[in-house]
Amino acid sequence: MISASTLHVITTELTIGMFSLAGFCFLMMFIEKGPVVKDSVAHWALAGGLLFTPLAIITGLNSIQGDEISSPLLANKMLTSMSAIGLSIGVLWKRIKMGRQEGYLHPSLGMVATGMILLTAGMGGEYARGETLIFFLPKTMVFLFPMWASIIIMILGIALIAKAIMTAKSESPAIV
């Protein structure tokens, strides 16, 4: 039987590998170098990383000692991983709806999403082994929004989703 911590290492390595590949390809898109396939590889690797991220989160929660998340570092891990998931979904959604993206904004957002996942992995190394490359982050503070800002962002997100659904319905041909 595989322990939760071993399974967490496996899913984490899959997630980090996929996001690292995506980040590298987004960098190639940003500097406009490399083969044309970099666009497809970046987005497929991002989708693969998204597929494995929930598994890494679930196995990570199962492998922590204790019954609850009591460490500010773990709370920050959840915050950055959820933010990266949301940003990654946005990048993939734009690629699916709008096709191949030109310019610097799209690959920049892809690099930010992959960077946030790598930041999350660095926090995991700090929590599990006490070693990290992100020594400059405070370890005792949780970066959370005040309640009013969270409510505004939630309302804005719901409004944007509703607008996207309404736009998609108006653009689709009627079925008779």
Domain 4-138: give its CATH code. 1.20.120
pTM score, whole prediction: 0.81
Within 13 Å and on the Cβ side, how many CA atoms surround 55?
16
Q: How far is CA 5 from the centre of its chain?
A: 21
User: Residues 6 or more apart from 153 whose CB is under 8 A from it?
Assistant: 145
Q: What is the pLDDT of residues 141-167, one digit of tens each?
A: 887 778 888 889 889 889 888 888 888
Q: What is the pLDDT of residues 89-138, one digit of tens each?
A: 999 988 988 888 888 999 999 999 999 999 999 888 888 888 888 878 77
- DSSP, collapsed to helix, strand or coil, labels residue 120 as helix
Q: Residues, the chain, total?
A: 176
* Domains of the chain by residue range: 4-138, 145-176
The one-letter amino acid at 34: G
Q: What is the pLDDT of residues 44-79, one digit of tens each?
A: 999 999 999 999 988 988 887 766 667 888 888 888
CB-based contact 101:6 (threshold 8 Å): no
DSSP state, residue 71:
-
Q: What is the pLDDT of residues 12-33, one digit of tens each?
A: 999 999 999 999 999 999 999 9
Contacts within 8 Å (CB) and 24+ apart, 141-144 = 141/72, 142/72, 142/75, 142/76, 142/79, 143/76, 143/79, 144/75, 144/79
The span from the CA of 81 to the CA of 110, in Å, is: 14
